[in-house]
Structure 1
């Protein structure tokens, strides 16, 4: 199978799945209402690969010109573009993906500037002082439901060992999809 034909190609998954709050037992309206109740400052929590980034990307699309900052293991510092966004971000909603990764020495500057934000939604592994908007948890059942959405025609070949596949990926849906991609591409998966 060619990479462009693989239903588990990352770009295709991004376009196809997005984020559906119904899979977490809620609605956009309920999430937004709770966010307002929490003072428009909250965290989306969950383990690695549970869907936090997907939720934040979808939330950002629902906002009018949000400030979006993304941090991860490779990107831990505020850069000049981030500082420019922060400087012009007063009165806007801030979306901070991977807040746990931000270097300690950059956090005070971000916190000071964030006081002028119209609202903040961050993703973290644990809330740690932030009010928790939603805790995401991936399950084999969720992986199965998403598998049907991605490719009903290929779901059957992965359904028979779905639980074992899910455990091998430690519940990380991103790793789960990459393993499915590798299997269809004919690569050996551990």
Structure 2
């Protein structure tokens, strides 16, 4: 908000022809709060929803320098990028996107692109499947990501719910 207030919108907002924001949500929010009614936009034409999602995820990674968000959200983003890039079981076996050679083609390349090691990337993918109750405990800091992973690896979903229910009872006392 301070940047927009002092210098205006420097980086154009990226939108689709039907005015869906792909990149620049926070700049738009800042403009609204500051009463700025116009901002520079780049209109991009996309062939499909995956291209929009890819731009959204990649732009956020580049702009923020990290993936950001809850462990579960990071895991979901990683899974989406793997799906978009065609990365399966560690690497892209069907490399059809030769025109865009900068796209990661392996888990190792994707991990590097996202600023983490492969093991961390794989752990985040596991955390994407956390049950909501465990996700809440991780988000509030009651349980660490490492502990959540251990719980997920050792207990069934039902056992996880039972454990969490007993923790909630203990925390209330």
> Fold-level match, TM-score > 0.5?
no
As a proportion of its length, which structure holds more strand? 1
As a proportion of its length, which structure holds more helix? 2
> Higher relative CO (CA 8 A, sep ≥ 6), structure 1 or 2?
1
Return the TM-score normalized by structure 2. Answer: 0.28
